Structure 1
Amino acid sequence: MNQPESLPLDPLLRVLTIMTILRSPQGCPWDREQTHRSLKTKLIEECYELLEAIDQEDQFSMKEELADILLHVLFHAQIAQEEGNFSFWDVLDYLSAKLIRRHPHVFGSQSASTTDEVYKNWEKIKKEEKPDRESLFDGIPIYLPALIKAMKLQSKASKINLDWKDSQGPLSKIQEELSEIQEACKEKNEVKIKKEIGDLLFSVVNFSRLLGIDPEEALAESSLIFEKRCRFIEQELKNDSYPEASKDLDKLWQKAKEKYP
């Protein structure tokens, strides 16, 4: 039996040793069963939990979720080491080299006094690192949430001048797409309705992007407010002391909007 007091005192060596033990024949059955693929969805969940902690400015939860994400980094590195591919130390070496390479204005002779200059240097270096990428659109992750992916695609397209001059363009497009959805609904054409809804959402992302608003965050905030309002109404409807005559959903919705504007 492994005793905690026998573990290294150095925090990094300690957690690496713990991970090695957990994956060993004498370790935990669940940890031993995990693979890169089995951990995929859990890693995504942890990332979203961190985002929630950041939005709530909950420092304790942020620390907890960062630890959970680090656990996944250690987990994947340990699995890779067991398979003879790379180790956690290789990950650290790669990260250090990448940070130095991509900051020549800090660790080299180049200069960059503005964020825009830093971004241009960054893009140039990335292109040199990935010579096999033939398109600006190569490298965009397949599994990005749809709103984030749409914004990424639009941002890339803007680099070859495939973009609106200002936010008025996509705003007019939104109105056009709404008309097309109404027309598709009249025709009762489900395939066309789905397409037009997609076009509408894509235009909304474009409009949001050109205003400097992250559509994913905007939708998440609206969803949170909607949830709070629904929970409020749900509780009011459950409240036996609440006058039956006042249990009008429209009135309750207005009250919920006042409470959660």
Structure 2
Amino acid sequence: MASHPDFDAFVATIARLRAPDGCPWDREQTHQSIAHNMIEEAYEAVDAIETGDARHLREELGDVLLQVVLQAQIAADAGEFTIDDVCRDINEKMVRRHPHVFGDATAETAKDTSEIWARVKMEERKAAQAAAAAQNAAEVSGDAVGVAAIPVGDASVLAGKPEGLLDGVPTSFPALMQAQKISRKVVAAGFEWPDEEGVWEKVAEEVEEFKNAAPEDAELEFGDVLFSVVNVARWRGIDAENALRATCVKFRRRWAFIEGAAWAQGKDAADLTVEEQEALWQEAKRREKK
């Protein structure tokens, strides 16, 4: 495999920017001060993927990499960890979660692979819980000693209590993404309907509760409707976040057609009647199918 001198050069550049005689702005940054940049750059990369713009994607992936390397350098400056630790941990995780490639397990389909991935993650979580319990016991006894090395994957840093099943789902995720990840995790623990029909029954139940909800409860009940529909998506193998994003793209495209038709008449879309807007909407749909 090829070496990656450009990556090493980039790491050195970021270290130079963070040096005492480097860039004042870069030196002032903390994990928290630039945390939002990670989310923004990731979304911009996803946008480039969805538009099929490879040149733009190349640029946006660079911006994502900047956030990774800069966060790692901030950590290195604080004596927390280095970019080498980050690379080593993710490499070990990928090897550990692909025993069908690097070990003795077998996987013939993508579904087989997903099941192996979920099983390994669950084993990692159990190892982390056991290690945390051992750490707690040592601290309580006043004789804290080093515990056996644990996978760094989802285990994170030992902290006072075992990691809960859903602790690893970031609250900063978009709500649909959170819902689907939460659903997948509890299913891996056995909390699942016996068939898809049961999921649809849950959707119907939540819709009925929303219809009859008091005004002060309506928002939460509507959230329950959305969460249950996300479970339908999971059963069908659909990514709910991607599905809604695709629908938003489709809606934008159709609305742009309506606006364009209105502008051609010297009008604004808001000046059209509902019937005219609906007719143009249907025309936009027909054109999509050609």
Q: TM (normalized to structure 1)? A: 0.81
Q: Contact between 1:229 and 1:253, CA under 8 Å: does it hold in 2?
A: no
Match of 2:44 in 1: 49
| Unaligned 5+ runs, structure 1 | 1-8
**% identical aligned pairs:** 37
Q: Contact between 1:150 and 1:205, CA under 8 Å: does it hold in 2?
A: yes
Match of 1:196 in 2: 221
Match of 2:143 in 1: none
1:72 has 2:67 as partner = yes
Matched to 2:202, the amino acid is K
Match of 1:4 in 2: none
Deviation at 1:197, TM superposition (A): 0.7
Deviation at 1:254, TM superposition (A): 2.8
Match of 1:228 in 2: 253
Match of 1:162 in 2: 191
RMSD over aligned Cα atoms: 2.8
Match of 1:19 in 2: 14
Compared CA separation, residues 23 and 195, structure 1 to 2 (3 A): same
Matched to 1:80, the amino acid is A
Deviation at 1:42, TM superposition (A): 1.0
Compared CA separation, residues 157 and 243, structure 1 to 2 (3 A): closer
User: 1:179-218 to 2 correspondence within 5 Å?
Assistant: 179-184=208-213, 189-218=214-243
Deviation per CA, 1:103-125, whole angstroms, max 9, x where unpaired?
Answer: 333334x1313344444443444
Deviation per CA, 1:18-51, whole angstroms, max 9, x where unpaired?
Answer: 2122223433332222211111111101111111
Deviation at 1:15, TM superposition (A): 1.0
| Unaligned 5+ runs, structure 2 | 130-161
Q: Which range is displaced more, 42-51 or 82-91? A: 82-91
Distance in 2 of aligned mates of 1:231 and 1:193: 32
Select 2:99's aligned residue among 100, 104, 107.
Answer: 104
Compared CA separation, residues 159 and 77, structure 1 to 2 (3 A): closer
Distance in 1 of aligned mates of 2:242 and 2:111: 23
Distance in 2 of aligned mates of 1:173 and 1:155: 17
Compared CA separation, residues 86 and 200, structure 1 to 2 (3 A): same
Compared CA separation, residues 175 and 122, structure 1 to 2 (3 A): closer
Distance in 2 of aligned mates of 1:84 and 1:72: 18
Select 1:137's aligned residue among 163, 166, 171.
Answer: 166
Matched to 1:163, the amino acid is E
Compared CA separation, residues 33 and 236, structure 1 to 2 (3 A): farther
Compared CA separation, residues 190 and 88, structure 1 to 2 (3 A): same
Q: Which range is displaced more, 17-26 or 200-209? A: 17-26
Deviation at 1:257, TM superposition (A): 4.0
Q: Which range is displaced more, 112-121 or 64-73? A: 112-121
Select 2:205's aligned residue among 147, 171, 176.
Answer: 176
- What SS class does the counterpart of residue 212 from structure 2 fall into? helix
Deviation at 1:238, TM superposition (A): 4.3
Deviation at 1:147, TM superposition (A): 1.2
Q: How many pairs were matched up? A: 247
Matched to 1:60, the amino acid is R
Deviation at 1:160, TM superposition (A): 4.5
Distance in 2 of aligned mates of 1:214 and 1:243: 36
Distance in 2 of aligned mates of 1:243 and 1:75: 46
Distance in 2 of aligned mates of 1:220 and 1:247: 27
- What SS class does the counterpart of residue 139 from structure 1 fall into? coil
